[in-house]
Amino acid sequence: MAASSESLAVSAVPAMAALLQKIRDGSDAAAAEQEILRITGLLEDELNQRSAEAAAANKELENFSYSVSHDLRAPLSTIDGFSRLLEGAVAKGNTERSTHYLQRIRLGVGNINELIAALLTVSRLLRAPMTVQPVDLTAMVDASFTKLRETEPERAVQIEVQAGLAAQADPTLLQQLVDQLASNAWKFTSKKERAEIAVGSQAGPDGETVYFFKDNGAGFDMAHAEKLFGIFQRMHVTSDFPGIGAGLTTVQRIVMRHGGRVWAEAAAEQGATIYFTLPGG
């Protein structure tokens, strides 16, 4: 959308210059009026697009601020609560309790550090320079799953990656996207006796290429799908599947920077499929 606004702005400048020249040359008044209407239409389109962008950005900022304040409050409350308990344990000389409370405080600090690191990662994605070029997506996906197999060689996971997958994208950003989606599929199939993951592409309704990561893992209830790409939004409890809920936010930002779309289909305990498009930035 941003690219479209820029093109409108660029096209309006020479049009205005040409109109001014026509007026100076004493050109036909009717033709000048039509040109004024055309340029006005261009500028109105640009204004509407920029207003829509601003509204979307404000809404995203509002959701982002709410999520951050909510998720940072939890570990801070943990630290505060156990600090008070530690104070009492120290006063009573209870060494065992004091050690336990210190461990819980350190855990809370660690959680905050994870949240801050995730926020910085998402923030950098919005500012990182992009170089869009042809990318061998199949090779990138294969490499990502090879690394995951090395971390858990005992797991039996059937992985099918479509041959010849290609994309127009920034290689660094796309690698982050692939790593995140591969990691998610690997993680959420960890409790399945026979884990299955498939990566491929298909033609969309308008002919665009739609890529997908599909697994038969934990899935989720589509009634909560609107939370999926929100920062720090978790669809499963941490005790079942570790994580802070920033991975798919990262995926969404990368896809959006390329001018694409991302969505999901899933069912609880029946797996999930993440779809995305990459029109080339």
Would the pLDDT of 237 be above 80? Answer: no
Terminal-residue alpha carbon distance, the chain: 10
Rounded to an integer, what distance in angstroms lies between the CA atom of residue 219 and that of residue 128? 32
Average pLDDT on 21-36 reads 65
Would the pLDDT of 11 be above 80? Answer: no
Please report, rounded to a whole number, the percentage of residues in the chain having pLDDT higher than 70.
68
Q: Could you give the maximum distance between any two Cα atoms of the chain, in Å?
A: 96
The two tokens of residue 118 are: 């995730």
190, 200, 212 from 148: Cα distances, Å: 12, 18, 18
Q: At what angle do helices 137-151 and 171-188 cross, to 10 degrees?
A: 40
**What is the tens place of the pLDDT at every residue in 178-236?**
999 999 999 989 888 899 999 999 998 888 999 999 999 887 777 766 666 655 455 54
- Burial class of residue 59 in the structure, from the number of CB atoms within 10 Å of its CB (0-12 exposed, 13-18 middle, 19+ buried): exposed
**What is the tens place of the pLDDT at every residue in 129-150?**
788 999 999 999 999 999 999 9
**Is residue 118 very low, low, confident or very high in pLDDT (cuts 50, 70, 90)?**
low
Task: Give the best-scoring range by mean pLDDT among 107-111, 154-158, 240-244.
Answer: 154-158
Rounded to an integer, what distance in angstroms lies between the CA atom of residue 90 and that of residue 85? 9
Q: What is the pLDDT of residue 76?
A: 80
Q: Which domains does the chain have, with CATH numbers?
A: 1-127 (1.10.287.130), 133-276 (3.30.565.10)
**Is residue 269 very low, low, confident or very high in pLDDT (cuts 50, 70, 90)?**
confident
**Is residue 177 very low, low, confident or very high in pLDDT (cuts 50, 70, 90)?**
very high
Contact between 249 and 68 under an 8 Å Cβ cutoff? The reply is: no
For the chain, the average pLDDT equals: 78
Q: What is the pLDDT of residue 25?
A: 63
Distance of CA 39 to the CA centre of its chain: 36
Would the pLDDT of 115 be above 90? Answer: no
Please report, rounded to a whole number, the percentage of residues in the chain having pLDDT higher than 90.
26
Q: What is the DSSP letter of 227?
A: G
**Is residue 251 very low, low, confident or very high in pLDDT (cuts 50, 70, 90)?**
confident
